[in-house]
Amino acid sequence: MDFGLVYPALVAGRLLLAFAPLPDALKHDHQLSSPLTSYPRLQEGVYLFQHGIDPYSGGLFRHSPLLLSLFSTALPLNKFTSACLWTACDAISAWALVKIWRARQRVSQSSRDSLIAAIYLLNPYLLLPTLALSTSTIENMLFLLSLMFASQGQSSPSLLALALLVQLSLPSAIFIVPMILLLLSDPVSRLASPREFNTYLSSILAKLGLWWYFFTEMFDHFRPFFLMVFSAHLLIYVLPVCLKFQHDILYATYILAGVYATFKPYPTLSDPGLFISLISLFPETYQYLRYPIVTTLLHLHSALLLPLFHHLWLSQGTGNANFFYASTLVFGVSNGAALLDAIWAGLRIAVGNLPEGYELIQK
């Protein structure tokens, strides 16, 4: 299908959807937006700022000052402009994804372009947060723009976008190292290239407990320690992943996006959404994914359970926090399983097709 037809059609469809009368509850849903990305809080902060009150003095507004200055001056926030703006962000992100693919394949146009755009624009994990006007859409856009400019070798725009992204959300700092490495290298796929590799694919049994529940159960005495541990946890993945995938930094960035989605302090659905959409850039790994069906089913499972248990706990009152916590654990497991699949596939692909009678073992 022609990219020039599909892409505008999808964007138009998105725009129509954004203008459709949506339930207001979408903006307040906790899976689609976190306190750091919530639209009502953004509005509140802008309002306070415009009336001379420091928006950071209460605990409500946690967005970055960049958004504050932008939305209080140049871009007023109302139903019309926010719908247009968020759709534009998603459109730019999809376009950036397509450009990354083209840079990777070294073509100016390919048949998969429309599929990639569709994967991004129709992904429910990304569609719903955009409809909820979560600012994670803007963060995703900045990430993909940075990645696009890095793939094209343009360092200034890439680093500017990255700087803006880190301003908006601090855990994105894990992308600094891989982005710089990507600028220094070529984004062409070298996953399947023969190279010497050491098979210490040790079991990455990630600690998939989620921050919030863990921290509710913790003694106050240990809070600073565990905050440090959880924050450092994100950082420890950067170097090993970049070292392991130094031949293909784009893949390393993709893995780190998955790590970011699973372990960041205030995750929402848009972070695994980004990770899942990025998988469209690496079709060569599909046949080497270890347990794709399990991962897909886990994701489906958790995607169905999360809103159900949230409703049961908070709206209906017949469940309790443990239901929701269990479903977030399943969600974390599904993210981790996707990460494991991606890492496995990235490494396995180098081995290639095994001749009859041979088996892959770990030493």
Give contact residues for other proteins (rule: CB under 8 A). 40, 43-44, 47-53, 65-66, 68-70, 72-74, 77-79, 154, 156-157, 160
Q: Which of 31, 50, 58, 44 is nearest to 134 (CA)?
A: 31
Least spacing, CB of residue 85 vs other proteins, in Å: 14
Least spacing, CB of residue 137 vs other proteins, in Å: 18
User: Cβ closer to other proteins: 75 or 201?
Assistant: 75
Least spacing, CB of residue 96 vs other proteins, in Å: 15
CA distance 254 to 339: 9
Least spacing, CB of residue 98 vs other proteins, in Å: 19
User: Cβ closer to other proteins: 142 or 261?
Assistant: 142
CA distance 100 to 281: 8
User: Cβ closer to other proteins: 42 or 343?
Assistant: 42
Q: What are phi and psi of 362, to 5 degrees?
A: -105, 140
Least spacing, CB of residue 68 vs other proteins, in Å: 7
Least spacing, CB of residue 199 vs other proteins, in Å: 42
CA distance 338 to 276: 8
CA distance 18 to 76: 17
User: Cβ closer to other proteins: 52 or 317?
Assistant: 52
Least spacing, CB of residue 290 vs other proteins, in Å: 40
Least spacing, CB of residue 251 vs other proteins, in Å: 25
What are the DSSP calls for 123-186, one per residue?
Answer: -HHHHHHHHTT-THHHHHHHHHHHHHHHHTT-HHHHHHHHHHHHHH-GGGGGGHHHHHHHHHS-
CA distance 146 to 179: 8
CA distances, 321 to each of 39, 204, 220, 310 (Å):
25, 28, 20, 8
User: Cβ closer to other proteins: 65 or 352?
Assistant: 65
| Token digits of residue 253 | 């960035």
User: Cβ closer to other proteins: 75 or 329?
Assistant: 75
Buried b / exposed e over 179-196, threshold 16 CB at 10 Å, is bbbbbebebebbbeeeee
User: Cβ closer to other proteins: 162 or 303?
Assistant: 162
Least spacing, CB of residue 26 vs other proteins, in Å: 14
User: Cβ closer to other proteins: 24 or 217?
Assistant: 24
Q: Which of 298, 292, 290 is nearest to 204 (CA)?
A: 290
The H or E element containing residue 7 is: helix 3-19
**81, 42 in Cβ contact below 8 A?**
no
User: Cβ closer to other proteins: 74 or 360?
Assistant: 74
